[in-house]
Amino acid sequence: MLSIVVGGFFGDEGKGKIVAYLGLADKPAIAVRCGAINAGHTVTYNGRKWKLRIVSSAFISKNTELLIAPGALIRLDVLFKEMNETGTKGRLFLDKHTGVIELCHVESERSNSFLAGKIGSTLQGVGAAMADRVLRKLRLAYEFDELKGMVRKVPDTVNEALDKGHDIIIEGTQGTFLSLYHGTYPYVTSRDTTASAFASEVGVGPKRVDEVIVVFKAYVTRVGSGPLDGELSFDEIVRRGWCEKATVTGRVRRAAPFNIELARKAAILNSATQAAITKLDILFPETQGVTEWGKLPYKVRKWIENIEDAINTPVTLIGTGEDVKHIIDRRRELGFLK
């Protein structure tokens, strides 16, 4: 079974936690990370915290093979640092066509006042490397001696594993409205960030995708520039306890209440089969650590059911705390698991 996890807003919805949980709960044979190192996915498990920019958040599932998509972009230093921090040497592989961001890309973005100023880019060199790739001059993984022994044919591995009936997770990055095609252009990232794009980054066709899980946070955040409906003042963000710092850049995230209209659009653009909502405990502190649907207060269940109706998609996973295990998994009761 193939599942794709994507962000439903502007990134930082908590995809890392959801993918880590799916890793632990389902023990997939393979998890494939897409996107690039501008994304930061946070995993908190058993009192430890990892901030991952390129290794799949499913790494906490010890027997899951971790792949990096041909459409993804890495940086060598980030890759090796995370491989060490996660202890995943020997089960972490990339595709020969995975792109490599080099110093020149980072430098060219840092001195680009349009990206640094107007767009509020993370300045990790991702857009510059994408541009070089489109111009057919980016260097790819197979050209680097440091990566010898870590290079696999990711599309073959994934399609063959699916033929054998194995479970696979594709971990998308950023969020639907940062998509180069479907987002708030020009205030977007340098790739499409919807489910179809991540399938394409890996090398699986749309007919092979079984589940698309779109992840929303209980409120909306955005780093960098661009429209944010219902944006709250900094004081109000602090008062509500919604103040967050970006994983990669350390910038304070802008915030707004949950946006049902955006969520509805995201469900459609990704053809979501399931939705996840994270950080419910920040909106409703009484839900902290709850792991059963029936133990949520009536008004909270109503709040979630109202979203389900509006987006025409069942909410199967609900985050109620930082730890991977702080989650309500409704997949069985809703008929998604045998």
Residue ranges that bind ligand IMP, judged by CB under 6 A: 11-12, 38-40, 115, 119-122, 124, 126-127, 173-174, 178, 187, 189-190, 223-225
Contact with Mg ion (CB under 5 A) among 28, 40, 71, 172: 40
Answer yes or no: are the C-beta atoms of 330 and 290 closer than 8 Å.
no
* Residue 329 is a binding residue for Mg ion (CB under 5 A): no
Instruction: Report the partner that residue 8 touches, choosing among ligand IMP, Mg ion, none (CB closer than 5 to 8 A by kind).
Output: none
Tokens of 135: 């111009």
Minimum CB separation of residue 217 from ligand IMP in Å reads 11
In the residue annotation, 166 being an active-site residue is answered as no
Q: Which of 41, 97, 182, 326 is catalytic?
A: 41
CA distances from 183 to 11, 35, 190, 200 (A): 11, 16, 11, 18
Instruction: Report the partner that residue 223 touches, choosing among ligand IMP, Mg ion, none (CB closer than 5 to 8 A by kind).
Output: ligand IMP
3-state secondary structure at position 152 = strand
Instruction: Report the partner that residue 120 touches, choosing among Mg ion, ligand IMP, none (CB closer than 5 to 8 A by kind).
Output: ligand IMP
What phi-psi label fits residue 277: left (phi over 0), alpha (psi between -120 and 50 degrees) or beta?
beta
CA distances from 255 to 33, 39, 209, 300 (A): 27, 18, 32, 21
Strand 274-278 and strand 211-217: the pairing is parallel
Minimum CB separation of residue 72 from ligand IMP in Å reads 13
Burial per residue of 47-84, b for 16 or more beta-carbon CB atoms within 10 angstroms, e otherwise: eeebebbbbbbbbbbeebbbbbbbbbbbbeebbeebbe
* Residue 12 is a binding residue for Mg ion (CB under 5 A): yes
Minimum CB separation of residue 76 from ligand IMP in Å reads 19
Minimum CB separation of residue 40 from Mg ion in Å reads 4
| Closer CB to ligand IMP, 38 or 64, in the complex | 38
Instruction: List, in sequence order, the alpha helices (H) in the chain.
Output: 15-26, 76-86, 103-110, 113, 126-134, 154-163, 195-202, 234-240, 260-269, 280-283, 298-311
Contact with Mg ion (CB under 5 A) among 122, 189, 247, 316: 247
| Closer CB to ligand IMP, 36 or 161, in the complex | 36
| Closer CB to Mg ion, 157 or 247, in the complex | 247
Minimum CB separation of residue 163 from ligand IMP in Å reads 32
In the residue annotation, 41 being an active-site residue is answered as yes
Residues annotated as part of the active site: 12, 41
